[in-house]
A and B are shown apart, each in its own frame.
Chain A
Amino acid sequence: MSIIYIIVKTLTLPGAMLHSFFEHMSCRASKVLVDDARAIQFNEMLGHIDHELIKRKGPSFDVCFIPFFFNFVLGFFTLCHGATTVIYLGRYNNWFSWVCLYLGISILTNLFPQIEDVMMLKENFFGKGKNVILKILVSPFYAIFFVGARLEKWGITLITSILFAFATPYILGTFIPAVFEWFR
């Protein structure tokens, strides 16, 4: 497992480094203690940072959500150009489009938190006697993070992000022409 994980993380190094940066940023914002924040380390911590066990609700959510959100936003916008130009319009002679395509896929491959962080999130929000409303609000995120973290552990997020790259032009195609028409 770890070999596949490390290979995928190495192939998508920019995305992994970006994820660890945002994870670190969220740790600092939430005052979570960090033990090791090296951006490149070829082990299971590649793309993540080593931090303390979080026993507070907010920080445990932030550490999972903030890197996910920022990576998703940056990855999606980068992929918009790369995927529409290379995959949909077939413009192969432009290096920047290829860079965007690679970077977009790379960032979207590294969206999810470590499974340990997801477990902490679960413990903090879903234990006995916890707030029901919070449980309901957090449960979709928990589900996404849990599935994503599992997929990421096996390197499957590389495949899902490539598939997403192929789907992106069609997703954009559902509303971009209407927006363009509205502006025209």
Chain B
Amino acid sequence: MSDKNKLNNQSGDYREEMEELARIFKEELDKTIEESENTETETEYEVEGYEVTMGEKKPVEELTEDELCECCGERARGTEKNPDSPFCSECEAILEKYPYDWKGVTTAIVTLFVTLAAIICFIVNVPVFSYTVEGEKAFNEGNLFTANQKFNKALEAISEEDDGAFLNVYEKRIFLNYRMLDMDSVLSDTDNYFSDFAKKMPMYKDVAEIEEEIMKMQATVLVIQDVLSQYADVSDNNYNEIINSLDALSGKKVYVKGTSYHLEGEEGFTPTGKEDVYICDDAWIEMYKYSAAQYLEKDGKIITEFLSSAAEKSEYVEILVNPLLAATYVGIGEYDKAEALLPTIKEANKENIDYYMVQSMLYRYRDKDYQKGVDTCIDGLNMLASIPDSSDMIAQIGYILSMQKTLNYIMLEDYKSAYTSAEECYSYQAETYAISVQVRDMYAMLALKTGDTETYKTLEEEIEEYGDLESGFSQDVKDYKDGKVTLQELAQSGGYDLL
């Protein structure tokens, strides 16, 4: 049989089938119409718990599909209120109060409870959050002391059972302590709160890098100290030898395992591969070269060379070195270089006094503008006082500016103010039980100058009391008493610029 014939036969079958269907449909329709005409005018429908009484119906055959209710398809569309409604009034009543899906209701209830619990938990965490935000803001603005206080307060606000849980707060404190050159605190935080797994996570990559850098510094310092321990003392005789030994460390590997460390090529040591390996940090090698030169009071140019070389090799060391470098530049008369470093010093920590110290030195040595020098020191001290809870800090570092202020007053020949300032400087140091020779001597000399012999005697007695009689007051005080030197000469000698 051809395909065409097959198709004709098939279409014949379809026709018959369709005609049969039409006949059944008509029979059913007639039956339904007959039934509906014989039933009562009111019928009750139950839709998902709603009972509705259907109104009087028009005969269905009179309505077209467009006139039937979209919902039930049995009654006429339109309601009293809205004749254009696609629904009949009964269906509208049902649809207006369509029952809620229990899943939606459950979700809403659960969410409501979770939200309430979240609000309570958030309120509990507000102190930690607020202090951390304030700390971060202060850190970004370069106010490192304020940031430090805020982070510490945030960590104090964490309950004991949550200790160590807020990793990002510790991370922020690590960045801060790194900028504040507090290596011990950085290592303590990384060890205590960051597991090896956490350090491998991308978001704490910086923490791992900082730790690595500090470990490298520590390894270098240990090796350098080993090298220096070979020398009984640092003197002009062995100065070059020491510098060469230090230079020889550059690029060498240090193997660290636990508390033991070994330098590459050390006799009797073979690396097992389990040690942490660090390359000696050149910046710290330069720092120790600077220390040797400073100890032997070498020429300022040599000192500045070592310092600038150290600063170039490490950002971390640069923060440490810049104030020293600037003060040394002032000491050797390279004022422009010192001034050029001022913005960097200020940026490193706006709350540090280094900027005010170097600026005050520049006013005194270069510009001979002593009043501006005094004002700068007062600004610096006011800045320190404006930091919340800064009394300890003022005692710890405020004496540096008090001494600068004293020296400027001496140059102004305002000895009374200079004496008051020296007294302030002395009292700051007395609070920390670490009185330096320069502070005590300057206080004593100004006491003599202003006729306060009582104070001079008390200071003398203190020296005896603390068993420091052998050294007594320094040669400067003796020379001043003998009239060999004036206070102005001492102020400009550089020996009283505390760093």
B157 vs chain A, min Cβ distance (A): 10
B125 contacts which chain A residues (CB < 8 A)? 81, 84-85, 89
Q: What CA separation (Å) do A104 and B95 show in the bound complex?
A: 32
Contact among A17, A81, A85, A90 with B103 in the assembled complex (CB-CB below 8 Å): A17
CB atoms of A92 and B167 under 8 A apart: yes
B119 contacts which chain A residues (CB < 8 A)? 77, 80-81
B96 within 8 A of A: yes
Question: How many pairs of A and B residues are in contact by the CB < 8 Å rule?
Answer: 136
Chain B's closest residue to A97 (CB) is: B121
With A84-B129, A176-B133 already in contact, the answer to whether A39 and B166 are too (CB < 8 A) is no
CB atoms of B167 and A90 under 8 A apart: yes
CB atoms of A90 and B118 under 8 A apart: no
The CB with the most chain A CB atoms within 10 A, among B112, B118, B128, B129, is that of B118
CB atoms of A91 and B107 under 8 A apart: no
A37 within 8 A of B: yes
A177 within 8 A of B: yes
A3 within 8 A of B: no
**Pairs across A and B, CB under 8 Å, 29 listed:** A17-B103, A17-B104, A17-B107, A21-B101, A28-B96, A31-B96, A34-B96, A35-B98, A37-B98, A39-B104, A39-B107, A40-B101, A74-B111, A77-B115, A78-B114, A81-B118, A81-B121, A84-B129, A88-B132, A89-B128, A89-B132, A92-B167, A99-B114, A100-B118, A173-B133, A173-B137, A180-B127, A180-B130, A181-B130
A167 vs chain B, min Cβ distance (A): 14
B86 within 8 A of A: yes
Minimum-distance CB pairs A-B, first 8: A90-B168, A21-B104, A90-B167, A34-B98, A39-B104, A81-B118, A33-B95, A173-B133
B232 within 8 A of A: no
A108 vs chain B, min Cβ distance (A): 12
CB atoms of B107 and A14 under 8 A apart: yes
The CB with the most chain A CB atoms within 10 A, among B92, B130, B162, B167, is that of B130
B169 contacts which chain A residues (CB < 8 A)? 89-90
A131 contacts which chain B residues (CB < 8 A)? none
With A17-B103, A17-B104, A176-B129 already in contact, the answer to whether A85 and B167 are too (CB < 8 A) is no
Q: What CA separation (Å) do A158 and B169 show in the bound complex?
A: 28
Interface residues of A, Cβ cutoff 8 Å to B: 14, 17-18, 20-22, 24-25, 27-28, 31-35, 37-40, 52, 74, 77-78, 80-82, 84-85, 88-94, 96-97, 99-100, 103-104, 107, 169, 172-173, 176-177, 180-181
With A17-B103, A18-B104, A96-B117 already in contact, the answer to whether A35 and B95 are too (CB < 8 A) is yes
B332 within 8 A of A: no
> CB within 8 Å of A: which of B320-339?
none
Contact among B92, B111, B134 with A18 in the assembled complex (CB-CB below 8 Å): B111
B100 contacts which chain A residues (CB < 8 A)? 21, 24-25, 37
Main secondary structure on B side of the interface with A:
helix
B127 contacts which chain A residues (CB < 8 A)? 180
Q: Mark B129-157, 1 if CB is under 8 A from A, else 0.
A: 11111100100000000000000000000
Size of interface on B: residues with Cβ below 8 Å to A: 45
CB atoms of B121 and A85 under 8 A apart: yes
Q: What CA separation (Å) do A181 and B114 show in the bound complex?
A: 27
A46 vs chain B, min Cβ distance (A): 12
B112 contacts which chain A residues (CB < 8 A)? 74
CB atoms of A88 and B126 under 8 A apart: no
B86 contacts which chain A residues (CB < 8 A)? 52
CB atoms of B168 and A180 under 8 A apart: no
B108 within 8 A of A: yes
A24 vs chain B, min Cβ distance (A): 6
